[in-house]
Amino acid sequence: MGTILDYVSVYSNTNAIRTASRSVSLPASATEIKGQSDAMKKLQEDYETLKSAVSQYSTTLQMDLMAIDLLVDSQVQKDKNQSELFKQGTGIFDTCLTP
């Protein structure tokens, strides 16, 4: 008796699976997958665009920082030169005219 009940249980479960599988249509699944694929492709394109923009910004920022560093170094050197002239007491009027 137990075997017959097991068989009926398996048979009903199998039928339930078959019924459920008939309700799934492959074209709908394919459309969903294609839609997800298109969305992923768009996300990757947007990511690459963002990555490129950030890279360009980073490069520009680094170049600007190097230019600022050079300007500061140049000004520091000019200040040192003027300080030396003041210490020597010569060329005071020349240094006042130098911007």
Q: How does DSSP classify residue 24?
A: -
> Which is more confidently placed, 31 or 71?
71
Answer yes or no: are the C-beta atoms of 85 and 92 closer than 8 Å: yes
Q: Which domain holds residue 30?
A: 2-97
C-alpha distance from residue 2 to each of 5, 8, 11 (Å): 5, 10, 14
Rounded Cα–Cα distance for residues 51 and 44 (Å)? 10
Confidence (pTM): 0.46
Number of domains in the chain: 1
pLDDT exceeds 80 at position 88: no
